[in-house]
Each structure stands twice: as structure tokens, then as C-alpha cells.
Amino acid sequence: MKNSIEIPKELKQFNSFFTQFAYRHDMARVFDDFLTVIVCCMAHETEENRYFETIAKYTKDELNLLAKMFAELIMIYEAAQRDERWIDPLGTYYEYLSGNYKKSALGQFFTPACICDMMAQMIIGDDWGKDISEPCSGSGRMILAANHKTKGNYYVAHDIDPICCKMTAINLCFHEIRAEVHCKDALGNKPSYFSLAVNYEFWKHNTKCILYYKNEKTA
């Protein structure tokens, strides 16, 4: 079946790199590994073991492709920041993959950006410095919209899907949002599979970061 989701112009170069993995790898695994690599890179040398375990299955040429994908992603975030808008390139591309690769590990679709903006206008006030919970973060779009409405709040995000948690953390990191992201069932009384601290001291050091912490289970 032809994909009904058109890939945005800014993601076409990213897609050209990503699709080169298709001949040798499961695309869902590549996407998850790519997210893990970004988180490890933003962990400031605290996740070297996790990083090398993740990249062990890839050739030198494939690692160069991952680096090019990361560079493309950074440029997309920077362009959005210059334009003073929020963007969810990871969630958008994940939806695109879901239409192309019929795998059980793929298949989520997220709230449209215009709906996120509308809900943020209805719910988020003008006061800042609040702690705000997001029990099912997806790729983090509701938080991105809320932050665009009023900056300076602290977010606690949850999702049971590890891929969603990593997308949320990366999106929030590059939008300079302080948060914690927990991979767990927000309704259940069970420990997190893993947790991520995002930009925990950004306003002190002006340094984007994502750190694993309180790993009560192995993701």
C-alpha cells in the first residue's frame, strides 16, 4: 500500500540517508538505535558502554550515515528555532515509517500539531515555573506546544513505549525544555523501565543534555 503521509521537504535528505539501511537491517530497529545513539551523544560521555553496544552491529559506512542523519536533524531543529516555531521531526518521520514498513514495532500516529496548539491555548496559562505532567507523551508534541505557549515550566512525561520516550527526550532537549521522561505505564504502580533527565541544569550552563537515571529495569 502506498504511504498516504507525504514526507516534509526538510526530512527528504534525512530520509535518503535512512533508507540506505533497508537492505541489511530492520528499519524499526535502526530507528530505535538511532534514537539511542542521539541520547548517548547528548549524555556527555556518561553512556559510552551503551553507545558502543548500540553501534556494534553497524559497518563504518553505516555509522557515517547515522552521523549524517544526526547532522540533518540538528539543522532542522536550528532552522525551527530561528523561525521561533516548534517542530517534531522525529514523530513526523516515525509516522512516515509506519506507513512504509509494516512491522509490529511501528504503527503509532500522534496528535496533529494544530490540535496540540489549540489545546495548549486552552489549558496552559501565562504563569511559568509550574510542574506539569504528561501521562502519555508520544513524541512530546503536547509539551512542545505548551512550551511554545508559555516557557519556563518543568515537565514530567511518561510513555510505556521506549521509542516514544526517547523521541520525547530528544525533542525536548533540542527545544531547550527542562523535563524528566519515564518509560512506564503512568496508570500502573510499577517502576520505570528507564528514566531520562532532560536539560536538568540548562539555565545554569546553557548546555543541552539527556541523562539516564534511576534505571530500575533494563530497557
pLDDT, one tens digit per residue, over 116-147 is: 999 999 988 888 889 999 999 999 999 999 99
Compute the average pLDDT of residues 7-15. 94
Compute the average pLDDT of residues 70-76. 97
pLDDT, one tens digit per residue, over 96-107 is: 887 666 554 455
Q: What is the pTM of this model?
A: 0.91
pLDDT band at 2 (very low <50, low <70, confident <90, very high): very low
Residue 66 clears pLDDT 50, i.e. is over it: yes
Residue 1 clears pLDDT 50, i.e. is over it: no
pLDDT for the residue 40: 97
Q: Are 171 and 76 in contact (CB under 8 A)?
A: no
pLDDT, one tens digit per residue, over 35-58 is: 999 999 999 999 999 999 999 999
pLDDT, one tens digit per residue, over 145-187 is: 999 999 999 999 999 999 999 999 999 999 999 999 999 988 8
DSSP per-residue letters across 96-162? HHHHH---TT-------HHHHHHHHHHH--S--S-EEEESS-TTSHHHHHHHHHS-S-EEEEEES-H
pLDDT, one tens digit per residue, over 76-99 is: 999 999 999 999 999 999 988 876
Compute the average pLDDT of residues 63-83. 97
Q: Are 199 and 43 in contact (CB under 8 A)?
A: no
Domains, the chain:
9-100 (no CATH), 113-213 (3.40.50.150)
